[in-house]
A and B are shown apart, each in its own frame.
Chain A
Amino acid sequence: MIRSLLALLLTVPLSVLAAEPAQFAPVAQLLSGGVPLEHGLKLDLPSVSEDGSAVAVGIQFDSKQLQPGDRLASVHLFATENPRPELISFRLLSEHVLADFNTRIRLSESQQVIAVALSEQGHSWISSKEVRVTISGCLVPDAQQETLASMQDPRIALPRRIKSGEPVELRTLIKHPMETGLRQTADGKLVAQNLVQTLQLAIDKQPALDVQFASGTAANPYVRLVVQGKSKELEFRWQDQQGVEVIEVRQLSL
């Protein structure tokens, strides 16, 4: 009994001790030698998810961490144990978009999620979280649910009231299965990869944000973002792997 207790004491810290996130190959490559700071980037994820197919994630960067004259260039999310580590990334192209995003990701099993932010002047920030994925025994999929082949029903939600000068929260979603290329049908055939690749936002005709989706982005890619209140015209452009585009334009009226 004592031995089993000891074994327990020895194994618990090992399994809890996660690998150093900055050493994870895709992250290390992105950092290319830079040493990331550990404060300033907030990663919001549940510690347990009962459905790995769509895990809600929030990511926020505290802009006070930037040196004067510097600005945030991109934010990237990775999963250490997914068949492909890329989850999603955001390229910030204009001051009008704040580094404050929510999306939904896929996690194939329990693992670490890593967020990295890079600034124009080459500074970097990192944040990570362990997520346990437990598929609830009560899930019985609906075999008759239809799967789409192409993008459908783009949705954009604007706030009910917009106050001059205040940040504006937007939600976007487009229906799409986000086929990873790894999924098999019941008769064992691989379903070809079919992803929405990007969502580009232009504010008043200027490129503002470039979201890169990946096989780790949940089906029906969802992005919540925040823009500055001075923006007037928003153009959203989704593009899938076949080059098909869906464009939606919204006016922000005060």
Chain B
Amino acid sequence: MKNNKPSFSLSRRNLLKGLGAASLLPLVSACSSTGLSSSSAGRVVIVGGGFGGATAAKYIKRFNPAIDVTLVEVNRTFHTCPFSNLVLAGQRKLEDIAHGYTELKEVYGVKVIHARAEDVDPIAHTVKLSTGTTLHYDRLVLSPGIDFRWNAIEGYDEAAAELAPHAWKAGAQTTLLRNQLEAMEDGGTFVMSVPDNPFRCPPGPYERASLVASYLARHKPKSKVLILDAKDNFSKQGLFTQGWRELYGERIEWVSLSNDGKVTRVDAARGEVETEFGTRHKAGVLNVIPPQKAGIIAERAGVTNADGWVPVKPNTFESEQAKDVYVIGDASIAAPMPKSGFSANAQGKVVAAAIVASLAGFEPVNPTWSNTCYSLLSPDYGITVADVYRIEDNKLVAAPGGGVSPLDASPAFRKAEADYARGWYEAIAQDTWGTRY
């Protein structure tokens, strides 16, 4: 488990580049071109203590402890979406995917405020909090993750999500869906509605279908999983469909867009959905993953585009629309990098280096990123796609040399990849929140 972190060496390289810039700091402490308003090293406010925000907070402090870093996060405990599908399948407890902010506060000296950021004034460089406090910043990082487009599917709003959970933000929603799954009678269908791109974690729905099927196979042998999809292709499709046949036979059924898979109406109270061409499906448990957009605060800051996501300069992740506002993680448009925790963590380091350099009056270094999508088809069956990304012609592109698990691999190979996934989880949780296992 300890030596299964191949892609971290890449992130570490970014980190070293960033450190290179940061180590020059003492020479330029009085630099006037940085636009700092008061404290000499600068004030950074970060909204969101998830994969992107917590990483950015820690690495800014690591690169230059003199910078004043305030992290604004609503929740005292963060539950990761990664591995929440194992919680659904009864393989982990919710506590196992919970993380806190003690290390950031005590080891790195990050000020952590548990409040909601309600508004951003990019001209005045201020953030208004739900507590009434106004924070001033020299550089702002937004890593708010996603929010849902309620009612984009007729009948699916916040109230409906209490009956037909999305569980696409982990925590109470995960528990709700788990309880429903446990209470479902043997023979009931687990129906999942999947949105069109872009959305958080492209392989996530298919991993969920797999792990729910693994639970059903053991506890409700007459039950099935029905995936209603608004797409005709999905992430790692070839590997998933092969694994499904191998592990679950006919238990998982996938209905594509062109086969009338797109859900257009939800009746959460009756556990029913209707698709684009009028087919109705009755669910034992209904899991609706709704269409998404950048976390609301990005909209308030005025940095989103017409599609609801945030265009950023690819080398620094600074907003194209507002100076000194950096947006990372799911909220940003980083495609072809997927909206993953791994990406958000890597972007957190890049943005930390870019901000430290910019506060010191330096140009940012050109970063590279890596991302590995791990997915579990069962607790002992893992598959991956790894990619490296770089900047070309001022655009973020996938570099050659990405790799994907082979089709037709042995059970031992799949088992090893499942172990790597667990190693990855522990490593990234430690890197982001300082959680030790």
Contacts and interface: CB of A to CB of B under 8 A. Distances in A.
Contacts of A165: none
Determine chain B's interface SS by DSSP, over half rule.
loop
A15 B402 CA distance: 27
Contacts of B209: none
B336 A135 contact: yes
A144 B336 CA distance: 25
B307 A139 contact: no
Contacts of B241: 142, 144
A47 B307 contact: yes
A5 B363 contact: yes
B373 A220 contact: no
Interface string A138-153: 1111111000000001
Contact of B398 (A137, A153, A220): A137
Contacts of B198: 48, 50
A247 B402 CA distance: 47
Interface in A10-57: 11-12, 15, 46-51, 53-54, 56
A137 B237 contact: no
B196 interface: yes
B236 A138 contact: yes
Give the size range of B's interface with the partner.
35 or more
Contacts of B250: none
Interface string B44-67: 000000000000000000000000
B238 A136 contact: no
A79 B336 CA distance: 21
B203 interface: yes
B32 interface: no
A54 B196 CA distance: 11
A141 B238 contact: yes
A136 B197 contact: yes
B336 A136 contact: yes
Given A50-B197, A137-B371, A137-B387, A11 B237 contact: no
A156 B260 CA distance: 11
Contact of B203 (A1, A138, A141, A156): A138
B184 interface: no
Interface string B252-265: 00000111100000
Contacts of B335: 48, 50, 132, 134, 136
A155 interface: yes
List of 6 A-B pairs having minimum Cβ-Cβ separation, nearest first: A138-B235, A137-B387, A220-B258, A134-B335, A134-B336, A50-B197
Given A8-B394, A50-B335, A142-B237, 17 more contacts: A11-B393, A15-B394, A47-B307, A48-B198, A48-B307, A50-B197, A132-B335, A136-B336, A137-B337, A137-B338, A137-B387, A138-B385, A139-B235, A156-B277, A157-B278, A219-B258, A220-B258
6 contacts: A11-B394, A47-B311, A48-B307, A50-B335, A142-B237, A143-B238
